[in-house]
Structure 1
Amino acid sequence: MSPPTENGDSSDTEGSTSGSQTDSSGTERTVLEERKLTGMRRTIANRLQESSQNAAHVTATREVDAEELSRAATLANDEFDVDVSVLDIVLCALSETLAEHPGFNATLEDGLHRMYETQNVGIAVDIDAGLVTPVLAGLESKSLEKIALDRRELTALVQTGDYSMSDLRGGTFTVTNLGVLGVDSFTPIINPPEVAILGVNRIRERARPGDDGGVEFRKQLAFDLSFDHRVVDGADAARFLETLCARLENARAFV
């Protein structure tokens, strides 16, 4: 998953052609199509290159037992008037985690690691024109019900194209969810000048030793945390993920 992007032209490519191509060895290859990067796709490409060149990317992965998380999502849907997803509860747990580990709710610009009290969390949304990441501002002040409502409204704005540049700016941390597309693990790319991004994978059942000495299947959820090693270390990332998982193992507290 690529990092958040700013709004560009709706057309991603231009000058599409087909034909034959011969390389230096004389081997001919039939070209299906050629697309010149323009608009939003070019912006995405530039941001990816900037991120890979300027940040010291490292990714740490950890699994959490998701049985309690799944039950909490079911309870929340019964409790509130808005649909609550697993991701909404993850955002609640993330808010508490960022408060405990402020080095990740931060940016790095001009050699200055700036940490924020306000949690402006970007939520990556895939649309036809490319990937955009609208910012869910003030996460630290929102209840689970409010998070679910605001996230859905923000996603709808992006999907209908009814958003502005201000909706994409001011982020302090980013979440990208490929679990909805069946992905088990990936390496999220940091959105500069932020210093970290959390990848959310799919929930799957895994065999675990049971209390009776047998085997039981339990729901598991893996997270991939990419961070800028220039400002935070692997041990910091491990503690961040430990806090996040501990909050999610007690997910009913958010309902």
Structure 2
Amino acid sequence: MSTVDLTNEVKVVPLKGMRGMIADAMVKSLATAAQLTHHASADASALMVEKARLAEAGTKASVEDLLMLAVVRALKKHPEANGRVEGRDVKTMEKVDLSVAIALPGNLLVAPAIFGASDMDVSELRSARQDLAARAKANKLSVTEMTGGTFTVSNLGLTRVEHFTPIINAPQICILGIGRMTDRAVRGTDGGIELRPHVGLSLTFDHRALDGAPAGDLLTTICEEIEGFAP
């Protein structure tokens, strides 16, 4: 009778340094906020048309850039979701300072803020996002950029993930998770079946500050901004 080798090599990775800080922040967020996630899918046909129109006009814009613009536009209509929970106070802000989750080498993650995102067009949002990404990789982000956001977007669109449950970037009220784009069969205006691109969206919100219905309204508005995309 042969014996089974039960030994296994174990690699120990201490939760310290930046990885430890991320771990502590995630646990604190889940422990202190009443988190709930709504899921939806938006028809991205109009967004893709706008992306092509911008490219033809010589303006580069990624799907993420256009989705960021849609989020900012939606938050202007739902200011109750744009802010932070600090102690027993819910503080909402007029301007959107949009935090963008950025993955870094070594299984690390940061979410610096684009200040004044509500006053930017898609080209300005793209430039600001790229600047943050470059400085994040060079470890040149400021404390204010790391802590000053009012709403976060986290994009997993380059993976096979369609929906997920993003953890709130505490003390913010909400975070939007962006999933991959998939083609779905829908009934066209002529009654026939056609394939259209859809993007998965997942909105996690702090139920202490925002109830399910207004959070659902926000996610619906984000979908409407995507589906009715216009310059």
TM-score normalized with structure 1 length: 0.84
1:238–1:126 distance in 2 versus 1, CA, 3 Å: same
Following superposition, which runs of at least 4 residues in structure 1 exceed 4 angstroms of deviation? none
- Post-superposition Cα deviations, 1:61-105, rounded to whole Å, max 9, x if no partner, equal 111111111111121123244x21111111111112111111110
The worse-fitting range, judged by mean Cα deviation, of 165-174 and 207-216 is 207-216
Matching residue of 2:3? none
> Does the alignment pair 1:166 with 2:166?
no
Matching residue of 2:153? 175
What is the identity, as a one-letter code, of the residue corresponding to 1:115?
T
Aligned counterpart in structure 1 of residue 51 of structure 2, from 67, 73, 83: 73
List aligned pairs for 1:145-224, cutoff 5 A.
145-224=123-202
How far apart in 2 are the matches of 1:139 and 1:211?
36
Give SS of 2:194's match: strand
What is the identity, as a one-letter code, of the residue corresponding to 2:103?
D
> Does the alignment pair 1:99 with 2:47?
no
Higher strand proportion: 1
Matching residue of 1:14? none
1:80–1:112 distance in 2 versus 1, CA, 3 Å: farther
Identity %: 33
Matching residue of 1:123? 100
Structure 2 stretches lacking a partner, 5+ long = 1-5
Matching residue of 2:111? 133
Give SS of 1:246's match: helix
Aligned counterpart in structure 1 of residue 211 of structure 2, from 233, 236, 247: 233
TM-score normalized with structure 2 length: 0.92
How far apart in 1 are the matches of 2:210 and 2:66?
25
Give SS of 2:11's match: strand
Structure 1 stretches lacking a partner, 5+ long = 1-27
Kindly indicate whether the alpha-carbon contact (under 8 Å) linking 1:208 and 1:217 is maintained by their aligned counterparts in 2.
yes
- Post-superposition Cα deviations, 1:231-251, rounded to whole Å, max 9, x if no partner, equal 111111111011111111121
How far apart in 2 are the matches of 1:114 and 1:213?
47
What is the identity, as a one-letter code, of the residue corresponding to 2:150?
T
Name the count of aligned residue pairs: 226
1:93–1:134 distance in 2 versus 1, CA, 3 Å: same
Give SS of 1:51's match: helix
Give SS of 2:48's match: helix
Give SS of 2:204's match: strand
How far apart in 1 are the matches of 2:215 and 2:110?
25
How far apart in 2 are the matches of 1:203 and 1:91?
15
Kindly indicate whether the alpha-carbon contact (under 8 Å) linking 1:92 and 1:144 is maintained by their aligned counterparts in 2.
yes
